[in-house]
């Protein structure tokens, strides 16, 4: 992993995001992207200060959806950090995998509204509507000619994209892959989650792992990581930010919108991620939870984590950054993987905001309310989605030595 680019409601750019995570900032406010007046919940996380006008010309903006512009902006930052400034020598050995649930929904909604309200047809609004549009824009902008595709596994999309890109590199299909996720704040999903009564009306009510938890707020975000085969990175003298050790995936095969209450489905993903990483649970210093702050998710996730790690005493700190960023759907898995990497890089644990009343069903150390300074050598990021899909990704410091610690050796 040689580059990160992020746009989140708590910070545009990697450094601002890292500062926000450490400060426990909240990016959740009243929604201005559309009129939220008719909904039970009127808050969400938006990219304050993101100005596509400054980055893209008027002509491009007619075709590019907000999601495409967000993904491109994140990719530019990631490539800069990876110090890749010239087009690839072997563009066919570059790939791109993005996860998204909405694609160009903002353009789609605008097209639909224009058609309905004013009877106007604006086909240019449809160019970026397909879910694969942002990935295509990455390829055409950065001249990527290798395997490129889009995944859409609801809230696990971003993690799934990183996992697929990891497999592309492992299978020697590519040397470098841009991987991540993007989603905007669209009326459609807000209305949908509002109808499921999963959204809360006030930012302070997003309370992962708290007994009073009742749901989340949505957010928009983009994250693009530069994943690179280690030898390829070494050969060009690139500095690695982190290493992706492996991932695990599973499907609950249980219910469209609810996890298995005992967490056995997600436990399998967590277990196989650990196995793939080649690390014992004791080497994981931090878990960035899916932590949506719904009654069902957090209890089932806590149970899954504890069942794999052994018990509250053996379990590393588990926090959810969703109270800060909102639930950014297809981007969530990617920005949370980035948060885990930043925790390793900057030696701190991002806090779980708004935590007050412990829940016996979630007996985890959730780093309540304030960030904690501590060194982390390896971390895990969990992402679970509609349709029962579970992903768990393990990342480690670039200097990480997988040899067993003394403690393990004596056990």
Catalytic residues: 155, 290, 327
Encoding tokens for residue 147? 């395997």
Cβ proximity to other proteins: between 170 and 239 the closer is 170
Cβ proximity to other proteins: between 26 and 271 the closer is 271
Cβ proximity to other proteins: between 69 and 367 the closer is 69
Cβ proximity to other proteins: between 18 and 79 the closer is 79
CB of 250 to other proteins, least distance (A): 6
- 10-35 in b/e form (b: 16+ CB < 10 A) is bbbbbebbbebbbebbbbbbebebbe
- State phi, psi for 162 to the nearest 5 degrees: -65, -40
Encoding tokens for residue 121? 């047809």
Please report which residue ranges of 91-146 form alpha helices under DSSP H: 105-113, 133-142
Question: Could you tell me if 218 and 329 are in contact, meaning their C-beta atoms sit under 8 angstroms apart?
Answer: yes
β-partners of residue 150 are 98
- 151-163 in b/e form (b: 16+ CB < 10 A) is bbbbbbbbbbbbb
Pairing of strands 378-385, 389-396: antiparallel
Cβ proximity to other proteins: between 68 and 288 the closer is 68
Encoding tokens for residue 386? 């509609």
CB of 267 to other proteins, least distance (A): 11
Cβ proximity to other proteins: between 22 and 125 the closer is 125
CB of 249 to other proteins, least distance (A): 5
CB of 296 to other proteins, least distance (A): 14
CB of 46 to other proteins, least distance (A): 18
Encoding tokens for residue 33? 């992207």
How far apart, in Å, are the Cα atoms of 358 and each of 46, 181, 210?
Answer: 29, 32, 5
Encoding tokens for residue 14? 């990697």
Torsion of CA 86, 89, 90, 91, to 10 degrees: 30
Encoding tokens for residue 268? 């399998």
HSE-CB of 191 using CA atoms within 13 angstroms: 7
CB of 127 to other proteins, least distance (A): 5
Cβ proximity to other proteins: between 329 and 367 the closer is 329
Encoding tokens for residue 305? 């984590």
Question: Could you tell me if 231 and 320 are in contact, meaning their C-beta atoms sit under 8 angstroms apart?
Answer: no
CB of 268 to other proteins, least distance (A): 6
The closest alpha carbon to 227, from 276, 159, 162, belongs to 162
């Amino acid at each position: 992993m040689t580059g990160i680019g992020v746009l989140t409601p708590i910070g545009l750019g990697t450094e601002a995001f890292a500062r926000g995570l450490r400060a426990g900032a909240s990016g959740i406010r009243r929604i201005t992207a559309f009129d939220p007046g008719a909904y039970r919940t009127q808050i969400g996380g938006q990219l304050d200060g993101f100005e596509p006008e400054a980055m893209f010309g008027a002509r491009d903006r007619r075709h590019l959806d907000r999601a495409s512009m967000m993904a491109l902006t994140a990719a530019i930052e990631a490539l800069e950090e990876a110090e890749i400034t010239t087009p690839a020598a072997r563009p066919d050995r570059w790939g791109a995998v993005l996860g998204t649930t909405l694609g160009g929904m903002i353009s789609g909604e605008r097209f639909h509204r224009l058609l309905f309200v004013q009877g106007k047809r604006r086909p240019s609004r449809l160019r970026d509507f397909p879910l694969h549009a942002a990935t295509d824009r990455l390829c055409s902008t950065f001249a990527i000619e290798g395997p490129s595709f889009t995944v859409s596994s609801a809230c696990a999309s971003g993690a799934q994209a990183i996992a697929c890109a990891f497999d592309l590199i492992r299978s020697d299909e590519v040397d470098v892959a841009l991987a991540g996720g993007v989603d905007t704040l669209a009326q459609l999903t807000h209305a949908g989650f509002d109808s499921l009564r999963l959204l809360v009306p006030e930012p302070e009510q997003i309370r992962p792992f708290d007994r009073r938890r009742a749901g989340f707020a949505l957010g928009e975000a983009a994250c693009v990581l530069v994943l690179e085969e280690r030898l390829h990175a070494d050969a060009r003298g690139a500095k690695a930010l982190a290493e992706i050790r492996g991932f695990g995936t599973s499907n609950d095969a249980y219910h469209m919108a609810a996890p298995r209450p005992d967490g056995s489905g997600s436990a399998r993903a967590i277990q196989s991620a650990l196995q793939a990483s080649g690390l014992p649970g004791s080497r994981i210093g931090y878990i960035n939870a899916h932590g949506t702050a719904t009654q069902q998710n957090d209890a089932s996730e806590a149970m899954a984590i504890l069942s794999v790690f052994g018990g509250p005493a053996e379990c590393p700190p588990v926090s959810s950054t969703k109270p800060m960023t909102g639930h950014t759907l297809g981007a969530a898995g990617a920005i949370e993987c980035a948060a885990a990497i930043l925790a390793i890089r900057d030696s701190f644990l991002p806090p779980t905001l708004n935590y007050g009343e412990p829940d016996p069903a979630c007996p985890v150390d959730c780093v309540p309310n304030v960030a904690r300074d501590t060194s982390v050598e390896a971390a895990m990021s969990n992402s679970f989605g509609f349709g029962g899909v579970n992903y768990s990704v393990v990342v480690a410091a670039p200097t990480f030595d997988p040899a067993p610690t003394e403690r393990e050796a004596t056990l």
